[in-house]
Amino acid sequence: MIGPDGQPRPGCDRVVKILEGLGGAIEDRQRSAELAIQAMGITFTVYSEGENIDRSWPFDIIPRVITTGEWDRISTGLIQRLTALNAFIDDLYHDQRIISEGVFPADVIASSVNFRPECVGVSPKRDIWAHICGSDLVRAGDGVMYVLEDNLRVPSGVSYMLENRAVTKRVLAEAFFDLDIHPVDSYPNELRTMLAELSPRDIEQPVLCVLTPGIYNSAYFEHAFLAQEMGAYLVEGNDLYVDADDRVFMRTVDGPVRVDVIYRRIDDAFIDPEAFRKDSALGVPGLMRAWRAGNVALANAPGAGVADDKVVYAYVPDIIRFYLDEDPLIPNVPTFLCSDEAQRSHVLANLDDLVVKPANESGGYGLFIGPKSTAAEKVTIREQILADPRNFIAQPTLQLSTAPTLRDSHVVPRHLDLRPFILSGSTPYVTQGGLTRVAFVEGSLVVNSSQGGGSKDTWIVDPATNPQQPTTDV
């Protein structure tokens, strides 16, 4: 929002003026926001000391601002990316053209933990596998937005994007009169429309379910929220069963009810103990049979996570060129593959400056941050890389951008990232902005809410439009 010269960036001057106009009252607004969050019951779940605790969602009222011009380019770039990734996943489970034509190495797939042989030959509707994707974007020191990773399994956070806006509208209402801020609340409706399109039965009102691991899952709030907003059933594994004709039913008081579309918020490995992990009590035995028979749609499709691999990430620019014959609109962060000998020695020689990530973890687990690491940690990561080079990638430590954030009565710069959500329906959809996550600790790059991170509302603002003169406050 603020440039290096201390002046508002282009398009942000009106936002800055409104916030400055608040003066000391900004703290009251922050307090109102926190009270609203409590009253609205917006929580996330932390598991600690053997107990699940619902904590209030940590939130900063100063919004993150992006102009419409830049957002339009990013949206187009994200749709391009997902179009290519879906083509890639579909190709992997069919002809593997990208491998036979020498663009993508076969051994990456052979060693991928998220490639599901059970999915080979299956053709989901319109050949779409990753219906819902959350891609993490960061702005680096050069001012450019990069894609940091794509979450194609069960990305979460969209409910907080919606709740952040609801809270901000309560406590900074005047800004919404004065500025042209793009609305975000159409997401649940877009999601419902996209899911309903997937129905295998051609009926007016297909039965939609959100499949959750249950109340102890950290994202349960979001599962319940989305189900409610979409008018879908919130179900757990044992609410569903698959009959002898490979159809899925849900157990209700009125008897069995046929299910058409399942928005599953459970990882592949747990969705069907018949097909995958036998010890899973979360899934539905026979679900894969029903899906392969085309009797039920699963979003995202099983096996879509193969593109979630951080080694695949390194190839996304090539993937875009291969399937779409276009240049990528949003750049990747330069990535070194430890499986490649030359790149590996570069990584091992420059551990001090690099971030090393395991290829198939999510939620920031197993992250090694070179500049902040101890000597012992360097020894450990070196051993891990050498033992299993396929499973590690490295990237330069990015100088993440900051945004003004209210901490202890002062407005201070804090690092942030952005997770927009992309729906790959018949008309692709990208959220207006997304979930901005911010590291509350000075200098920290960790934005996870469980580790001292918080979030902000994200405003896509058109600097060109000239909204009506603000009416005088009475």
Please report, as ranges, the residues that interact with other proteins according to CB under 8 A.
Answer: 41, 215, 224, 227-228, 233-239, 241-244, 250-257, 273-274, 281, 285-286
- To other proteins, the closest distance from the beta carbon of 308 in angstroms equals 28
- 272 vs 287: CA distance, rounded Å: 6
Shortest Cβ distance from residue 52 to other proteins (Å)? 10
Q: Is 397 helix (H, G, I), strand (E, B) or coil?
A: coil
Q: Are 419 and 138 in contact (CB under 8 A)?
A: no
Q: What is the DSSP letter of 285?
A: T
Q: Of the two residues 141 and 255, which places its CB atom closer to other proteins in the complex?
A: 255
CA distance 312 to 296: 28
Q: At a CB cut-off of 8 Å and minimum separation 6, what does 343 contact?
A: 336, 337
Cβ proximity to other proteins, 136 vs 272, nearer residue: 272
CB nearer to other proteins: give 214 or 413.
214
Closest CB to other proteins among 239 and 462? 239
Determine contact, residues 183/218, Cβ cutoff 8 Å.
no
Q: Let me know: does 447 contact 416? Beta carbons within 8 Å.
A: yes
What's the rounded Cα separation, in Å, for the pair 173 and 166?
A: 10
Q: Round to whole Å and give the CA distance between 114 and 328.
A: 25
> Nearer to other proteins by C-beta: 86 or 280?
280
**Closest CB to other proteins among residues 88, 220:** 220
| Closest distance of CB 215 from other proteins, Å | 6
| Bridge partners of residue 458, in order along the sequence | 64
Is the four-CA dihedral 210, 212, 216, 222 of positive or negative sign? negative
Comparing CA positions, the residue from 213, 209, 282, 216 lying closest to residue 250 is 209
**Nearest distance in Å: CB 278, other proteins:** 9
Q: Rounded to the nearest 10 degrees, how much is the dihedral formed by the CA atoms of 151, 153, 157, 162?
A: 100
Q: Please, what is the angle between helix 220-230 and helix 187-197, to 10°? A: 80
Q: How far apart are CA 467 and CA 372, in angstroms?
A: 46
Least spacing, CB of residue 292 vs other proteins, in Å? 15
Compare residues 281 and 349 and give the one whose CB is closer to other proteins: 281
Q: Give 19 or 242: the residue with its C-beta nearer to other proteins.
A: 242
Residue with smaller CB distance to other proteins, 142 or 245: 245
DSSP β-bridge partners for residue 151: 134
- Least distance from other proteins to the Cβ atom of residue 211, Å: 12
Rounded to a whole number of angstroms, the minimum distance from the CB of residue 295 to other proteins is 13
| Least Å from the CB of residue 461 to other proteins | 33
Which residues is 209 bridged to in the sheet?
A: 233, 262
Q: Least Å distance between CB 370 and other proteins?
A: 43
